[in-house]
Chain A
């Protein structure tokens, strides 16, 4: 690979989109394919300025279908390739990512959520959870990291490339417009300096030798003739996905052991929830939080353990129950009461969370 991107660990103050571009460079991403949509544009802007300095490439495609399918072509060529999108672009992205799921392609997609449905707002939401975790005509065999801070955007963008190339399931970093556009301090670093080994990419096609003479041809398809043939293929992937799920799943929890109420949230909303929980604890309220970092796969075992002990659950999200649907499926069978604070397309403050908790615990 070309020269080192980040020679020494350093503090930086930048927007989330800039963070993603630096993280992709640090992770050794070789090519980005992208189509303009707010609020992810600056990922492309920073990438197109930085990439040539490090021998990396960029292609602006005609739409997100093309951005996704060129990314698929890029990874099949054996290059670490990625794209970024949002909202209606994420809708189009589902077609190429369903092919990536079927063909087990290590694509990386950064999603900066905007409001929905439709074009809605360019600002913020958590309304792309369903689409990003289980969108497409498939079984949702994907890895989705939902970040809350710029440090996490950096850490998990690097991790996304490793997860994709290690497990060969399409991998997503799920951010949002707030994270994309806000400036915040973080530490950027070279993964090797932190002892993080990067999984090397490997070509699917175009390997050494003449196919059929020196080696069998590498032939990839997503079309099957027989139901049984497809069933076996999908079930083999399902069983592999279920096997890796416990080691992929990540979460953060605090104060859940003795809690009267556990708040469940993800992404940037976690910042408000963590602050509210700290305040409420200071006031002697028995509250805690449980925050899945991976929305696919969810940390199911730990989630069920938590739900088993909790007296009540409060689900908080900037959507009308998209995390809630995933959560309830994982928690199915528990009798614990689940309450909700849904603010589709709207930011949530610590004060609002605190007030809601007090209303519940009066």
Chain B
């Protein structure tokens, strides 16, 4: 037995070690995704789209055909691709700034139109690539470069509830869930169900993954895990928000 578990087969070995910071959540999310891709055996018909922000660093992460697009625009690029080639499977991978702020109109309308694509969004509560500014997901009181005294909900609102929003917009066929890098088994399950939703042609699927950014959070390992497992769940409940065919939601918290 090798001392380390094997990389997913769908990973591109020659681009490893990956480009993310130590402690970053992207590697964990993409590992879960890689394992699900392997399990579903879809590497030959899956197109991976990534956004701007740290997610762009995944542009050569997989042995998948990949398109790195503009900030917030991965959903329309993958929508256009899927509409032109419905036989392909399309993933749009992005951060919370791309999905909930600059690209919010695309996320909302893709969900409303029930586009048969899968959106995976890493929520690390701020803009990481640009140096840690406040995002729609920043927690009340959380200090960022543009909320140096802590986010004041009076001035800038409360953290945006992405999967709940998608669940509210989406009609029959939409899958929406929130997982966490703190529970990889669950995250893997949600990612698999999201992709199965697309494979079976039911409709739009969306998974938010609570992620970590110790670089911009300025946290050590203990503080990082504490933030993911204790602070973030105060505003972001993990679980399935919407599952095609009612009554099958996996409701969990933290």
Interface residues of A (CB under 8 A from B): 30-31, 33, 57, 59, 61-63, 65-66, 69-74, 76-79, 81, 95-96, 99, 203-207, 209-214, 217-223
Interface centre among B45, B47, B65, B79 (most CB of A within 10 A): B65
Q: Is B62 an interface residue (CB 8 A)?
A: yes
**B45: chain A residues within 8 A (beta carbon):** 206
Q: How many Å from the CB of B87 to the closest CB on chain A?
A: 8
Asked if A221 contacts B81 (CB within 8 A), the reply is no
Asked if A206 contacts B43 (CB within 8 A), the reply is no
Asked if A77 contacts B105 (CB within 8 A), the reply is no
**A76: chain B residues within 8 A (beta carbon):** 67, 77, 80-81
Interface residues of B (CB under 8 A from A): 10, 12, 43-45, 47, 52, 56, 59-60, 62-70, 73, 76-85, 88, 105-106, 108-109
User: Could you write out 12 A-B pairs with CB less than 8 Å apart?
Assistant: A62-B108, A66-B73, A72-B69, A81-B80, A95-B70, A205-B47, A206-B45, A210-B44, A218-B66, A220-B68, A221-B56, A221-B66
Interface centre among A209, A217, A220 (most CB of B within 10 A): A217
Q: How many Å from the CB of A248 to the closest CB on chain B?
A: 26
**A219: chain B residues within 8 A (beta carbon):** 59-60, 65-66, 68
Asked if A73 contacts B79 (CB within 8 A), the reply is yes
Q: How long is the Cα–Cα vector from A134 to B85 in the complex, in angstroms? A: 31
Asked if A30 contacts B84 (CB within 8 A), the reply is yes
Interface centre among A66, A209, A220 (most CB of B within 10 A): A66
Q: How long is the Cα–Cα vector from A213 to B108 in the complex, in angstroms? A: 36
Residue of A nearest to B10 (CB): A212
Known pairs A79-B84, A219-B59; A70 contacts B79 (CB<8 A): yes
Q: How many Å from the CB of A153 to the closest CB on chain B?
A: 25
Name B76's contact: one of A57, A61, A205, A222 (CB within 8 Å): A61
Asked if A69 contacts B70 (CB within 8 A), the reply is yes
Asked if A220 contacts B66 (CB within 8 A), the reply is yes
**A72: chain B residues within 8 A (beta carbon):** 69, 77, 80
Q: How long is the Cα–Cα vector from A207 to B85 in the complex, in angstroms? A: 11
Q: How long is the Cα–Cα vector from A243 to B68 in the complex, in angstroms? A: 28
Given A73-B83, A96-B70, 9 additional A-B pairs, CB 8 A: A65-B76, A66-B79, A69-B73, A70-B79, A79-B85, A204-B65, A206-B47, A217-B63, A218-B66
Residue of B nearest to A63 (CB): B105
Asked if B67 contacts A206 (CB within 8 A), the reply is no
Name A222's contact: one of B70, B82, B105 (CB within 8 Å): B70
Known pairs A76-B81, A217-B66; A70 contacts B47 (CB<8 A): no
Interface centre among B63, B64, B67, B78 (most CB of A within 10 A): B67
Q: How long is the Cα–Cα vector from A65 to B80 in the complex, in angstroms? A: 12
Q: How long is the Cα–Cα vector from A69 to B66 in the complex, in angstroms? A: 15
Asked if B85 contacts A206 (CB within 8 A), the reply is yes
Asked if A223 contacts B83 (CB within 8 A), the reply is no
Asked if B65 contacts A217 (CB within 8 A), the reply is yes
Asked if A205 contacts B81 (CB within 8 A), the reply is yes
Asked if A59 contacts B79 (CB within 8 A), the reply is yes
Q: How long is the Cα–Cα vector from A59 to B82 in the complex, in angstroms? A: 11
Asked if A206 contacts B109 (CB within 8 A), the reply is no
Q: How long is the Cα–Cα vector from A8 to B73 in the complex, in angstroms? A: 42
Q: How many Å from the CB of A31 to the closest CB on chain B?
A: 5
Residue of B nearest to A31 (CB): B84
Asked if B73 contacts A65 (CB within 8 A), the reply is yes
Residue of A nearest to B67 (CB): A220
**B44: chain A residues within 8 A (beta carbon):** 209-211, 214
Q: How long is the Cα–Cα vector from A66 to B62 in the complex, in angstroms? A: 26
Residue of A nearest to B62 (CB): A217
**A31: chain B residues within 8 A (beta carbon):** 83-84
Asked if A211 contacts B64 (CB within 8 A), the reply is yes
Q: How many Å from the CB of B105 to the closest CB on chain A?
A: 5
Q: How many Å from the CB of B210 to the closest CB on chain A?
A: 25
**A71: chain B residues within 8 A (beta carbon):** 80
Q: How long is the Cα–Cα vector from A106 to B59 in the complex, in angstroms? A: 21
Asked if B80 contacts A221 (CB within 8 A), the reply is no
